[in-house]
Amino acid sequence: MLDPQILRNDPEGVARALAARNYELDVPAWRALEEQRKDLQVRMQDLQNRKNQSAKSIGKAKSQGEDIQPLLDAVKQLGDELEQVETEFATVRERQSAWALEMPNLALPEVPVGTSEDDNAEVRRWGEPREFEYEPRDHVALGDAGGLMDAEAAARLAGARFTVLRGALSRLHRALAQFMLDTHTTEHGYTEVYLPYLVNAEAMTGTGQLPKFGDDAFATTDEPPRYLVPTAEVPMTNLAGEQIFDAAELPLRMTSQTPCFRREAGSYGKDTRGMIRQHQFEKVELVQITHPQHSSEALEELTGHAEVILQRLELPYRVMLLCTGDMGFAAAKTYDLEVWLPGQNAYREISSCSVCTDFQSRRMLARFRNPDTGKPELAHTLNGSGLAVGRTLIAVMENYQQRDGSITVPEVLRPYMGGLETIPGPA
C-alpha cells in the first residue's frame, strides 16, 4: 500500500508515477474523497469538543442547583450527531482504503519506463548456449520418450496444466529442490522454514495478492475462505506481519520449498504444452526483511543468490531489469532471470527477484524499532525465486540432453541422485 501522506500531498505526482505502471488514478475523485475525509474529521473534533464542554457544564450546573435536563439533552444530541459523523468518516476511510489497495507500488527511479516485456532492459548474460550437432528436443519430447513425464495421466486425475513425473525424473525434481535449499541455507545465510499451504485473506492482502488478483487464486469453500498459496512469498513474508524487530535483527533471511497453486487466469492458450505454465508447481522461495537503507543492495544480493544456482548447474541465463509496465503489483524494482531453453531456442523466465520497499510492510505492519528515536518504522521486504523447481528441471533436461534422448545429470546434483550420472533415454 502506498504512503497515504504522499497520496494526500501530491496525488498528481502519484498519478503520473502510477500511469507508468499502467494504472490510471482519477485525481479529482481522489481529491474529492480526501476533502470529504478532512471535513468529517474537523466536524468530529468540533462535536467531541462541544460534547466535552457540555459534559463539564453539567457538573457545574448540578452543584449550583440548576436544572440540568437541558444540558443532558444537549449532550445526547451532540453524541447522536457525533456518532453519525463517525459512521460517515469510517465509510469514507473504508472507501479510501479499498481504493488504495488496488494501486500498485511506485517504481524506483532507475526502473525503465515501458508498457510490456519488449521494454525490459538486459543487464548481463552468463554462459554460452550449447551448440548441438542435432535438432535438440524440448522437455516434453524428452519426457515422453523416456516414459518419465505423463501429462495424460495427470489430465485423468486433475485436468489440464498438471504433470505426473516418474522414476529418475521425479527424483531429479526432488534433487534440484534439495540442492537449492542446501545452498541457500548453508552458504547464503537463509533460515529454512516449513509453512502452511493454506492462508487466510489477511495474509494474501498483506503481500498484495488480494484484492486485485483474487481470480488467479484457488480458494476453499470455507467461510471465510482460505487460499492455496500462489507462492511461499505469501506465508513467509507475513511471518514478519504485526511484528516489531530490533534493528540489529535485520536483515531477516528466510527460504522455503512449497508447492504453488495458480489458476493462470488470463493465460488461456499460453504455454499449454509441458510444464512451463502449470496450476501446481514447486518453488524454492527467498525472502528478506531489511532496513530501508539497505534494501537496494539486498536486491542485488538476493538476485546473486538465485544466480549461483544457475551457475552451479552450468545453465546459460540472462538478467533482465523489468520496465514499469511489466513488474509485479507489489514490486518497486525487479530483476528477472531467464534461462536458455534449447528446445524453444529462447530465454525463458526462471526467477523474479523484487524489492517491494515498504509497500507490503505497510499492509501487514512489518516494522523495526529505530534505535535513535525508539519509534517503530516500516521495514522493506524483498522476495525472489531461488529457483522455480519445475522450470529448472526443464532447463536441465533440455541443456543436458544427448542424441539418444538420455539426460546427463549435472555434477552438483549427483550426490542427491545416489551417484546417478545419466537418466536413460528410450529403450
Per-residue pLDDT of 75-86, as tens digits, reads 788 889 999 999
8 Å CB contact between 290 and 194 = no
The percentage of residues in the chain with a pLDDT greater than 90, rounded to a whole number, is: 89
8 Å CB contact between 148 and 169 = yes
Cis peptide before 211 (omega within 30 of 0): yes
User: How far apart, in whole angstroms, are the C-alpha atoms of residue 299 and residue 297?
Assistant: 5
8 Å CB contact between 12 and 31 = no
User: How far apart, in whole angstroms, are the C-alpha atoms of residue 108 and residue 357?
Assistant: 9
Q: 66 among the known binding-site residues? A: no
Q: What is the pLDDT of residues 153-165, one digit of tens each?
A: 999 999 999 999 9
Helix (H) or strand (E) holding 311: helix 295-312
Q: 383 among the known binding-site residues? A: yes
Annotated catalytic, 363? no
Question: What is the distance of C-alpha 230 from the center of its chain?
Answer: 9
Q: 349 among the known binding-site residues? A: yes
User: How far apart, in whole angstroms, are the C-alpha atoms of residue 63 and residue 173?
Assistant: 83
Backbone angles phi, psi at 280, to 5 degrees: -135, 130
Helix (H) or strand (E) holding 102: none
User: Residue range 47-62: average pLDDT?
Assistant: 80
Question: What is the distance of C-alpha 33 from the center of its chain?
Answer: 29
Strand partners, 125: 318
Q: Which residue has the higher pLDDT, 110 or 67?
A: 110
* Polymer length in residues for the chain: 427
Residue 270: the pLDDT is 77
What the block records as the C-alpha cell of 408 is: 546427463
Q: 352, 361, 367, 398: which one is catalytic?
A: 352
Q: Report the side by side order of strands in the sheet with 376-378.
A: 243-246, 366-369, 376-378
Q: How would residue 68 be classed by pLDDT, with cut points 50, 70 and 90?
A: confident
Handedness of CA 239, 244, 246, 250 (dihedral sign): positive
Q: What is the pLDDT of residues 317-372, one digit of tens each?
A: 999 999 999 999 999 999 999 999 999 999 999 999 999 999 999 999 999 999 99
Strand partners, 149: 165
Q: How would residue 122 be classed by pLDDT, with cut points 50, 70 and 90?
A: very high
Type of residue found at 382? L
Q: What is the pLDDT of residues 404-418, one digit of tens each?
A: 999 999 999 999 999
Q: 116 among the known binding-site residues? A: no
Q: How would residue 1 be classed by pLDDT, with cut points 50, 70 and 90?
A: very high
Residue 272: the pLDDT is 74
Q: 277, 312, 318, 369: which one is catalytic?
A: 277
**3-class DSSP assignment, residue 261:** strand
Q: 296 among the known binding-site residues? A: no
Residue 381: the pLDDT is 98
Annotated catalytic, 391? yes
The distance in angstroms from the start CA to the end CA of the chain is 56
Q: 177 among the known binding-site residues? A: no
The percentage of residues in the chain with a pLDDT greater than 70, rounded to a whole number, is: 98
- Between strands 191-192 and 252-261, the pairing is parallel
Annotated catalytic, 16? no
pTM given for the model: 0.94
User: Residue range 140-159: average pLDDT?
Assistant: 95
User: How far apart, in whole angstroms, are the C-alpha atoms of residue 253 and residue 128?
Assistant: 32
- Between strands 366-369 and 243-246, the pairing is parallel
User: How far apart, in whole angstroms, are the C-alpha atoms of residue 57 and residue 67?
Assistant: 11
Q: 171, 253, 363, 391: which one is catalytic?
A: 391
8 Å CB contact between 201 and 227 = yes
Q: What is the pLDDT of residues 169-214, one digit of tens each?
A: 999 999 999 999 999 999 999 999 999 999 999 999 999 999 999 9
Annotated catalytic, 161? no
Residues 6 or more apart whose Cβ sits within 8 Å of residue 60: none
Q: 276 among the known binding-site residues? A: no
Residue 103: the pLDDT is 98
Q: 406 among the known binding-site residues? A: no
Annotated catalytic, 256? no
Residues 6 or more apart whose Cβ sits within 8 Å of residue 309: 179, 180, 183, 386, 387, 392
**Does residue 297 have a pLDDT over 80?**
yes
Q: 34, 349, 369, 377: which one is catalytic?
A: 349
Q: Considering the chain, what is the average pLDDT of its residues?
A: 95
Type of residue found at 86? E
Q: 253 among the known binding-site residues? A: no
Q: Residue 127, class by beta-carbon neighbours within 10 Å (0-12 exposed, 13-18 middle, 19+ buried)?
A: middle
Q: 262, 362, 363, 367: which one is catalytic?
A: 262
Q: 110 among the known binding-site residues? A: no
Q: How would residue 64 be classed by pLDDT, with cut points 50, 70 and 90?
A: low
**Does residue 74 have a pLDDT over 90?**
no
Handedness of CA 125, 126, 131, 132 (dihedral sign): negative
